[in-house]
Amino acid sequence: MSERTRFGRFGGQYVPETLMAALDELQTAWLELREDNGFLDELRARQATFIGRPTPLYHAERLTEHFGGATIHFKREDLCHTGAHKLNNALGQAVLARRMGKKRIIAETGAGQHGVATATVCARFGLPCTVYMGAEDMRRQEVNVRRMRMLGAEVRPVSSGTATLKDATSEAIRDWVTNVRDTHYIIGSVVGPAPYPEMVRELQRVIGDEARHQYLASENTLPDTVVACVGGGSNSIGMFAGFVDDPSVELVGVEAGGLGVETGQHAAATVGGQAGVLHGSFSYILQDQFGQVLPTHSIAAGLDYPGVGPEHAMLAELGRASYVAVNDDEAVAAFKLCTRLEGIMPALETSHAIHHVGELAREMGPGARILLCFSGRGDKDMHTIESVSPTDMPVIGGPQ
Amino acid sequence: MTLSLPNQGGLSLIPYLMAGHPDLATTREIGRKLVNTGIAALELGIPYSDPLADGPVIQRAGQRALDAGATTEACLEVAADIAAERAAPVLLMTYVNPVLAYGPQRFARDAAQAGVAGVIIPDVPVEESAGIARTMTVAGLETVFLVAPTSPDDRIAAACAASTGFVYCVTVTGITGSRSALPTDVNALLAKVRTHTDLPVAAGFGISSAEQVSLLRGHADAAIVGSAIVNELDAGRDPGPLVRELLSACK
């Protein structure tokens, strides 16, 4: 099993012994089911009718015009049911958990999108659901807390540490250690011990596979650059999976620069971290010289995590993908710009990537082609945006 | 000082202290006292920010220790001071990331120089242990692996084969912390572990009272008690009387 647990030197299974049998069970079930036509047919059917797949490829004409450079397309994961790519993974894992006979589901959530996605599939399948969420994130993402409760999930506040996604994840793992026999833990990103990083990638690769097919069909070529935001890194790895074997396509991950990587107040683990172990896998993490995991900062709760998926760490080390950091204020400006120019309100997480797309578009110039994974919608971030920018937004944008 | 628990000849006690909780000076003072009470070994925790195997009591103690400046270096110094009593062996319990950050070779060397007898790293299962365990062994440290109620036979066999010193048997499916009652199948698990090893077998997680300790007589070689002792320190009490009570329950 060791070959499959790693991405180069990254990954692995650094968890208490109590969980090891469950990870073996999960790995066995996953490897069987991913080859099982019945499972794959069920998944495809539910993706079509419950999630709303395939999501469209959208030509962002006014942003393209505004930046005056490369042609910009969005892969519209914001149009997935519940408003983000998270449902691709939650649905797949719920179907898997049902087939494994698990009676209870737990999850962690940062921005609440993964929590809502998990609560949604649990409602659909009649499974009891507990979602761990940092107390600070519950405040920031209050609407999503209400949505989860409406769907029947119990939302447990986590007040330890920084009361954000890191601490919610630790608490969810401790719940799993305690209730491992009947509980499945739906991890929301490509983090955690094997087989999660690979399994979540495979459940998210539908984004990249669809996008590649759609892009070729409409543009008769591949994009030059594919861009996605990276917290733990699930929308990005799903998108990258469709293009990683196309050497001409540049892959760019955008991390949360917070108040600036140089200030130490950020969540950019690939750009500003070191290799270490967090939540069961060896990857890049933000830590001090003693190996204690550092508090993070991002205006986007879903990016506010001090680690990154081990496959991203490998892609970064190999140079196959590059990673940049975009700051809070740049993300807020990109949120406003996209909302006003395209009539599409992006999640603050996605807004980080949109800012970088703007920079790249100008740099690459007309004739170049950029594809963005538009990971989620921004309704959940209304309060945050209004609190940092309460007045009327300036009128921006070109003619029309 | 080498680790030698009485093997199948009686029950002994391994208390746990979190280094730096509530402060390093207290840990040093209490640790020196405890090793002279007749305990089999002292388990000394090095705090970590995200302790996945620990419950709220030890997690909070770890956070308090970190806030009070308990670095790995400082914890190793405390371990050295306690080991210098030469009254009972000192074991370190910590998570893999502080060890990686310190450097596994440097950690093993400094721990051995401090007179530490062995290490327990609960988030390093046998599969991930090859490099780290070899480094510890080369430095002369025992490496204690855990078995859990969820471990199938092949995993129990692997943990027993990889362990030196003793095998740590997790008595509950869960994290550390007091339980009102131990699961009824604890003794069956201990008996199963014994079929895989001649090493002493210690029982830990969830054991907090003299009554629970006495139930392990004739089944385990040692009882490990952590959260109950940390609770005493949290309440500002000397854990000495609790440890004496637990010791008498071993007899």
Report the pLDDT value the prediction gives residue A2, as an integer from 0 to 100: 47
Q: Which CATH number describes the domain made up of A52-83+205-387?
A: 3.40.50.1100
Element containing residue A325 per DSSP (H, E) = strand A321-327
Domain count of the fold of chain B: 1
Residue A3 has pLDDT above 70, yes or no: no
How many Å lie between the alpha carbon of B52 and the closest alpha carbon of chain A? 6
Average pLDDT over residues A159-182: 93
Report the pLDDT value the prediction gives residue B1, as an integer from 0 to 100: 67
CA atoms within 13 A on the CB side of A281: 34
Structure tokens at A358: 């703007």
Choose the mutation target among B127, B145, B154, B155 for the interface with A, i.e. most A CBs under 10 Å. B127
CATH number at residue B74: 3.20.20.70
Give A13-35 pLDDT, tens digit per residue. Answer: 999 999 999 999 999 999 999 99
Look up the ipTM and state it: 0.96
Q: Do A287 and B71 touch (CB under 8 A)?
A: no
Residue B162 lies in a domain: no
Report the pLDDT value the prediction gives residue A400, as an integer from 0 to 100: 42
Query: For residues B213 and B194, what is the distance between their CA atoms, to the nearest angstrom?
Result: 19
Spatial contact of A105 and A129, defined as CB atoms under 8 Å apart: yes
Three-state DSSP class for residue A157:
strand
Asked about A108 being catalytic, the answer comes back as yes
Average pLDDT over residues A236-243: 98
Report the pLDDT value the prediction gives residue A303, as an integer from 0 to 100: 96
Distance set, CA A223 to CA A96, A217, A233, A249 (Å): 33, 12, 20, 6
B67 touching A (Cβ < 8 Å): no
Residue B183 has pLDDT above 90, yes or no: no
Report the pLDDT value the prediction gives residue A161, as an integer from 0 to 100: 83
Rg (Cα) of chain A, in Å, rounded?
20
Residue B36 lies in a domain: yes
Query: What are the b/e assignments for B220-238, b being 16+ CB within 10 Å?
Result: bbbbbbbbbbbbbbeeeee
Asked about A86 being catalytic, the answer comes back as yes
Choose the mutation target among A2, A13, A14, A191 for the interface with B, i.e. most B CBs under 10 Å. A14
Give A288-302 pLDDT, tens digit per residue. Answer: 999 999 999 999 999
* Structural domain boundaries, residue B136: 12-141+206-250
Residue B175 lies in a domain: no
Q: Which residue from B minimizes the CA distance to A294?
A: B49
Q: Do A278 and B174 touch (CB under 8 A)?
A: no
Residue B153 lies in a domain: no
Element containing residue A106 per DSSP (H, E) = strand A104-109
Domains A14-48+86-195 and A52-83+205-387 equal at CATH topology level: yes
Q: Do B101 and A16 touch (CB under 8 A)?
A: no
Place of tokens 């949120």: A335
Q: Which of B49, B123, B170 sits opposite A292 (nearest CB)?
A: B49
Spatial contact of A325 and A59, defined as CB atoms under 8 Å apart: no
Query: For residues A83 and A320, what is the distance between their CA atoms, to the nearest angstrom?
Result: 29
Give A111-132 pLDDT, tens digit per residue. Answer: 899 999 999 999 999 999 999 9
| DSSP letter for each residue of A340-399 | HHHS--B-HHHHHHHHHHHHHHHHH-TT-EEEEEE-BBSGGGHHHHHHH--SPPPP-S--
Selecting among A170, A349, A375, A380, the annotated active-site residue is A375
Spatial contact of A351 and A335, defined as CB atoms under 8 Å apart: yes
Question: In the CATH scheme, what architecture does the domain A14-48+86-195 have?
Answer: 3-Layer(aba) Sandwich (3.40)
Average pLDDT over residues B125-151: 96
Give B95-118 pLDDT, tens digit per residue. Answer: 999 999 999 999 999 999 999 999
CA proximity to A118, closest of A96, A94, A145: A94
Q: At what angle do helices A310-318 and A234-241 cross, to 10 degrees?
A: 60
User: Which chain B residues touch A269 with a CB distance below 8 Å?
Assistant: none
Residues 44-63 of B with CB under 8 A from A: 48-55, 59-60, 63
Report the pLDDT value the prediction gives residue B178, as an integer from 0 to 100: 83
Choose the mutation target among B46, B48, B52 for the interface with A, i.e. most A CBs under 10 Å. B52
Residue B162 has pLDDT above 50, yes or no: yes
Is there a cis peptide before residue A195, judged by omega within 30 degrees of 0?
yes
Give B67-97 pLDDT, tens digit per residue. Answer: 999 999 999 999 999 999 999 999 999 999 9
Interchain CB contacts (distance < 8 Å): A and B? 124
Residue B229 lies in a domain: yes
Instruction: Order across the sheet with A6-7: list the strands.
Output: A6-7, A10-11, A281-285, A274-278
Give A323-381 pLDDT, tens digit per residue. Answer: 999 999 999 999 999 999 999 999 999 999 999 999 999 999 999 999 999 999 999 99
* Residues sharing a CB contact under 8 Å with residue A35, sequence separation 6 or more, in sequence order: none
Q: Do A277 and B100 touch (CB under 8 A)?
A: yes
Query: For residues A13 and A319, what is the distance between their CA atoms, to the nearest angstrom?
Result: 25
Neighbours of B51 (CB within 10 A): 25
- Reported confidence tier of residue B160, pLDDT bands at 50, 70, 90: very high
* Residues sharing a CB contact under 8 Å with residue A256, sequence separation 6 or more, in sequence order: A229, A231, A266, A267, A268, A296, A297, A298, A299, A300, A303, A304, A325, A326, A328, A331, A352
Residues 163-202 of B with CB under 8 A from A: 170, 173-175
Q: Do A291 and B101 touch (CB under 8 A)?
A: yes
Q: Do A21 and B155 touch (CB under 8 A)?
A: yes
Asked about B54 being catalytic, the answer comes back as yes
User: What percent of chain A is helix, strand and coil (3-state, nearest 5)?
Assistant: 50, 20, 30
Q: Do A287 and B159 touch (CB under 8 A)?
A: no
User: Which chain B residues touch A285 with a CB distance below 8 Å?
Assistant: 97
Q: Which of A16, A160, A174 sits opposite B123 (nearest CB)?
A: A16
Distance set, CA A320 to CA A119, A189, A259 (Å): 35, 20, 27
Indicate the domain borders of chain A: 14-48+86-195, 52-83+205-387
How many Å lie between the alpha carbon of A19 and the closest alpha carbon of chain B? 8
Residue B136 lies in a domain: yes
Quote the percentage of chain B above a pLDDT of 70: 98
Residue B6 lies in a domain: no
